[in-house]
Structure 1
C-alpha cells in the first residue's frame, strides 16, 4: 500500500468532520477492528461485511478493502496497528470512534462474545479511553438499536 491521501466521503465529513485520511490510517483502522472482532476466534461474514460497508461509505478504495481481505487478524499486534492511525484534524480522536465502531462491528452478527467485549475494553484502555466512556459507548449502541427497532415497529418494517 502506497502512502496516499484519500478524500473522505460526504458521510465521513458530516458524521466525523474529516476531509481526508491517509490510506495507511484507513487500513490500520480497519485492521484494528478486525483484530477486535476476531478476538472470539473468527471474524464472521456479517462482521466483515459491516466493516466493508462502513469503510466504503467512509470513502475507502478497493485497495484498502483488499488489505482487509488479506489481513491475518490472529497474529497481528494491536498496539502496533493502533499506533498507525492518525489524521490531519487535531480535534478528531480515533480512540472513541474506534471503540464505538468496534462495538457495532462485533455486534453485526447478532452476538457480542465475551472475548470481543474484552478486546474492546483492552483496545480502549490502550488508546486512553476512560472506562466510563467505554461504558457510555456500549450504552449508546444499545440505545441506537432500540431507536432503530422502535422506528421499524412504528413503520411496520420487518427487520427479521
Structure 2
C-alpha cells in the first residue's frame, strides 16, 4: 500500500507537534483521543454549561492534533454528562500525559473566559482519579495562569502595534 505524500507530510507534522508538546514518539490511538477530548468536555461542563467557546476550543484542539473526523463529529453533539472518573480510567492513570490532561482541562474550562468553582471541582476530581495530589494540581493551575500571562507578554513584545490580522 502506498502512502500519499500529503498524508505522509501531515503525519510528520502531527508527530512533530506531539513530540514537541508531549514528548510522544507515536500518535495516540483513536480511543485515547476520544477519551482525552471527552474528558476535557466533561470538565468544561462542570458548571452545568458547556459554553460554545469551550466546545469550539476542544474541537479545534482535536482538529489541530489531527483527531479522527468521526470523533470530531461525535464531539459536536456530545452532552459531556458522563462521570469523569469513568472516562479517564485505564491508560491515562499510568501515563505522564495525565498531567497534560489536567492542564488542558483547565485551559478548556477557561476558553469562555471563566473558570468556575464547579468546573475546578470536576478537574480536581479527575486529577485525584489520575493519582495527582491537590498540591500537584495547584502547581498545574499556577503554570497555566503563568502561561496565560507570558502569552500576553509575548504578543505585546512581538506585536507592539497589535496583531497583524
| TM superposition score normalised by structure 2 | 0.81
Equivalent residue, structure 2, for 1:150: 153
Contact 2:18–2:27 under 8 Å retained in 1: no
The gaps in structure 2 that reach 5 residues or longer are 1-10
Q: 2:46–2:122: 8 Å Cα contact kept in structure 1?
A: yes
Structure number with greater Rg is 2
Q: Does the Cα contact within 8 Å between 2:44 and 2:109 map onto a contact in 1?
A: yes
Partner of 1:117: 120
Aligned length: 148
- Structure 1 segment 85-124 matched on structure 2, within 5 A: 85-86=91-92, 92-124=95-127
Q: Structure 2: how far apart are the matches of 1:77 and 1:146?
A: 32
Query: Aligned partners of 1:120, 1:114: CA distance in 2, in Å?
Result: 10
For residues 143 and 106 of structure 1, the distance between their equivalents in structure 2, rounded to whole angstroms, comes to: 16
1:28 equivalent to 2:28? Answer no
CA drift of 1:120 comes to 0.9
Question: Cα offset for 1:85?
Answer: 4.6
8 A contact 1:31–1:68 mirrored in 2: yes
Q: Report how far residue 153 of structure 1 moved.
A: 2.3
- Partner secondary structure for residue 129 of structure 1: coil
Gaps of 5+ in 1: 1-6
Instruction: Find 2:22's aligned residue among 13, 16, 21.
Output: 16
Deviation at 1:152, TM superposition (A): 2.4
Where is the helix percentage greater, Structure 1 or Structure 2? 2
Please report the RMSD computed on the Cα atoms of aligned residues, expressed in angstroms: 2.0
TM-score (norm. length: structure 1)? 0.84
Q: Name the CA distance, whole Å, in 2 between partners of 1:153 and 1:20.
A: 34
